[in-house]
Structure 1
């Protein structure tokens, strides 16, 4: 059996796919992954082949100005073209295509044209239509959600209209060229009425009843066996557990200020600081011995040895910190990250920062909550309930679906 896994997101979108790919390979499945060319780190040593797809994502995220309607239209057209080009070529000879990302328009069309199984999977429920919450207020220029609107179903209808306005023309142009009928509702077409939710049910439960028949597999975790660098080990051994500060692949507004504010706020709590450079290039403002800047490291091992984790609220980082029992401060930057900040606060395993730009005062207040003994005790209790078999569940389900032993994943 051959399976293609595809995403056009950041590293946080890619790493879970590699986790699923490794599990599928262990079951004898031939797997390849389509992902942006600058998100190759998770593939190192995995044995999973990467098919570079679409443009690099770092330059897009690094832009200081928000995208214009024209920018978004160009990106949408490029994404759809990449699906009908590189992804379609990689999918030939495959039995299934699993797509993830914010809006992988074109992926289902590829599967439809090839006559293979299609699955859409989300790493969080925030972008899946639900009567229990509004959609994220994504930056769709010219398609703002009315700030005064409160009816969730009406807001989700507007959300669907926005995605169709952005992707519909490009998608239907390629579908026409491929001999496929047009699509009216791009979001429903991409998501299907039976999407998978690759998120832990304790951290991120799906609420029923809802309009979608969501299949929750648990998070797709890629085990990380890498040792920590010698310099980091020495820093950890030299004193009490530090506070980790990092924003992953997210661009951070005023990164120098963010790093300086974080270091000052952590020091105010009497703690040492680990600053993860990430894509924003964070670094301590001074050369103090109580601070250490680190690059790409094994967060699964590191988070079990820190006092708290200050981060952007990506699904992967939130899950990794929760598994490690590390209290969290979530400083959400975009999309689903406010959702994860809310979940961390609701579960009592940390604090949700109000807004994307931390000040010394605001971060100090959040850290006092995160570093409280009751928060660490609660984080440890929740950690014991986090599942680690999500990739195994998804791999087995995919094989059953392809072999016709389960309910079809697409409809």
Structure 2
């Protein structure tokens, strides 16, 4: 089986879990993903082959591309999928497509051409049309002010997807003899999309138009030990507050690091900062702060006082499963939604906007560090399902008999 994506580390990590579970059930699985070094290392660490596609996701993300370049980048992603996935999917029984919409559209088109079964998967529900909430706006394409009718907004969303991705997709489809697609979003979503999120953290409300299969989040137990310097820091005092923004570029990153460290110190806590794609760096040489690179979040989050992060689906789920109170500082896309879920569940705080100050972040931490938030986070941890990847793997094997 081939699992295809193009996106951040948060898009890759669930695929690691799925590929390992497929292998345990006797199926061969390989992952088609960007050629980033940390992606390759993560897959190699669990013995899953990587088929590289396109340019580095990190370089593309941190390059601060203008919204106006989105159609050009979409064309590049679609062409890359046609080239890489066509070769990788030969002999596969099922193709699982996820990641950003143009990449998923390209992968699904290849499966269509090869006559291979395909499944469209999302790791957040906000791209699935629903009467219960509005869609996300694309960068540079805000919805008209004052328009609140959700049906109208979803229609506008479909038009935007066609305007951004339709020409590039149909040009590539024509090159391999496929007919044009009239509705890119409907083509990618399909009639029976999979939602790989936890039902408690991210409850899906049924709609008459979509038969959504919610498998649970695709998690894999991470047995990697923490780096020695992290173990030593954890053992040297009270549990610190973790601060990390994952794959978010944070172009004012040094100021974000300073603000975060000062806000944590204002709460009388030590701080553990993750460099991430923003390259967060030390702000001074005091011994109450440690800056680290790659680390096992499953092992780490169970030993910290709180987790301050950007609100990616994977980080939110991992922190919730660990019982760690959270402060979400949403940067883009679905992250405000996850911030809202954290606040609604009482397991932490949602920061208002993407740019914290010392005062605003310290106030949010004050909420997350209360005994009540800790008790609620501990209770919610027990509700998080751990079998999502196994559920998905069994469904895929059932589909091919």
| 1:220-268 CA-partner distances (Å, limit 9, x unpaired) | 0122101111111111111110000000111114101111000000000
Match of 1:42 in 2: 42
Match of 1:271 in 2: 269
Match of 1:144 in 2: 142
Does 2:345 align with 1:347? yes
Q: Tell me, yes or no, if the aligned pair for 1:131 and 1:210 is still in contact at 8 Å.
A: no
Match of 1:124 in 2: 124
Match of 1:300 in 2: 298
Q: 1:186 aligns with which of 184, 187, 212?
A: 184
**Alpha-carbon distance in 1 for matches of 2:158, 2:400:** 29
| 1:358-396 CA-partner distances (Å, limit 9, x unpaired) | 110110110011001000000000000100000000000
**Alpha-carbon distance in 1 for matches of 2:188, 2:167:** 15
Match of 2:237 in 1: 239
- 1:201 Cα deviation after fit: 0.4
Deviating more after overlay: 308-317 vs 165-174: 165-174
- 1:284 Cα deviation after fit: 2.5
How large is the Cα RMSD of the aligned pairs?
A: 1.1
- Unaligned stretches of 5+ in structure 1? 404-411
Moved over 6 A (4+): none
**Alpha-carbon distance in 2 for matches of 1:269, 1:153:** 45
Query: Mapping of 1:380-391 within 5 angstroms?
Result: 380-391=378-389
Query: Mapping of 1:245-284 within 5 angstroms?
Result: 245-284=243-282
- 1:147 Cα deviation after fit: 3.0
Secondary structure of 2:45's partner?
Answer: coil
**Alpha-carbon distance in 2 for matches of 1:326, 1:382:** 10
Secondary structure of 1:51's partner?
Answer: strand
**Alpha-carbon distance in 1 for matches of 2:19, 2:116:** 18
Q: TM-score, normalised by structure 1?
A: 0.95
Secondary structure of 1:121's partner?
Answer: strand
- 1:296 Cα deviation after fit: 0.2
| 1:277-300 CA-partner distances (Å, limit 9, x unpaired) | 011011231111100001100110
Secondary structure of 2:146's partner?
Answer: coil
Secondary structure of 1:293's partner?
Answer: strand
**Alpha-carbon distance in 2 for matches of 1:234, 1:144:** 48
**Alpha-carbon distance in 2 for matches of 1:368, 1:149:** 36
Match of 2:10 in 1: 12
Q: Tell me, yes or no, if the aligned pair for 1:79 and 1:105 is still in contact at 8 Å.
A: no
Secondary structure of 1:5's partner?
Answer: strand
Match of 1:402 in 2: 400
**Alpha-carbon distance in 2 for matches of 1:8, 1:82:** 10
Q: Tell me, yes or no, if the aligned pair for 1:273 and 1:290 is still in contact at 8 Å.
A: yes
Q: Which structure's residues are more often helix, by fraction? A: 2
Query: Mapping of 1:1-400 within 5 angstroms?
Result: 3-38=1-36, 39-64=39-64, 66-69=65-68, 71-103=69-101, 104-139=104-139, 141=140, 143-400=141-398
**Alpha-carbon distance in 1 for matches of 2:277, 2:323:** 25
- 1:181 Cα deviation after fit: 1.3
- Unaligned stretches of 5+ in structure 2? none
Q: TM-score, normalised by structure 2?
A: 0.97
Secondary structure of 1:204's partner?
Answer: coil
**Alpha-carbon distance in 2 for matches of 1:147, 1:101:** 29
**Alpha-carbon distance in 2 for matches of 1:306, 1:383:** 15
